Structure 1
């Protein structure tokens, strides 16, 4: 799962990023209005953390730009402006949640988890597909009752596939999801293939139903 932190307080952004990375998220950063617009134009995010007061522009304008671009990234406003009018305005424009500074990082992580679960996973903690069972909160995967030892990146990949079930996902999108960086810097996609190969091997060894399909020349698809 990939998060964009739009926050001009660099120490706060860094502490948020470190905490969320420990929770298994990939984090991108923007400290100015212009950087934020560039990031949201080039990438899709599972959640955007948005400060309202930025060098060069307003967080409200970013919300309006997301709507204009027909982008549906989940958005949580994080702001020192604890104004009811700001909350109402932000939610009306398109934000999903509002968290006033200062806040506990554990609460922020809980809000992010709740938002992603609600938007992508139908507000469930347990996902079951025949012999496959995923405890989203506990980050545990079992096949036929056998627990799989997945790395953080493998678990993130599995959740990404399931969240986009029956859609073909390109190697470019997968590279960006795994690395959290712009795909233009990649010389090859060997690291994508390596992570997917490892994930498929572990699932196959546990005798799952072969839901992860390779679409040759295009990408991959999780079938349900």
Structure 2
């Protein structure tokens, strides 16, 4: 199903519009997506959702950040994870340091409490990517990652993972089947139909639960 059609969602234009301009049309679109995901949630499972896209530059990270803010505004405890260990951006969007993050946790050199960063937004915490690693697929597909998600799922009402593009990296496929649902972001003016179809097929082969698509229209 199509969760929503987003308009004018270029990162340079909106960044955290759900925070800076919560009464805007775009912020209202995120509230609609938030509501749709709520209807699709399985309350018996940890609410861990992954956001990905077929390729780069399709607005995936900006949508992840704004969706996390919108969910937190509903007074749910939300954790946003930057799992793009190759090209992280969440620390830039939220203007926080990235010296310690997910990669440190998975290497066992920091604890959850030492690593998670509270944001300026009530109920929203951020787990940045951390220092660069040379084996992102192996580290994100490890038992440590699985155990970490189980622990974080019990601590937060919703965990939202911003992952790399599904067609360009293997780690997204590894992460996808550990989540309750996957949201695919496609750009109407950029994503080729064949790549969108291939993304759906790849997620199916990874035994991921694709709950919907966000159509990003610039």
Larger radius of gyration: 1
Larger strand share, 1 or 2: 1
Q: TM-score, normalised by structure 2?
A: 0.30
**Higher RCO (CA-CA < 8 Å; seq separation 6+):** 2
Q: TM-score, normalised by structure 1?
A: 0.30
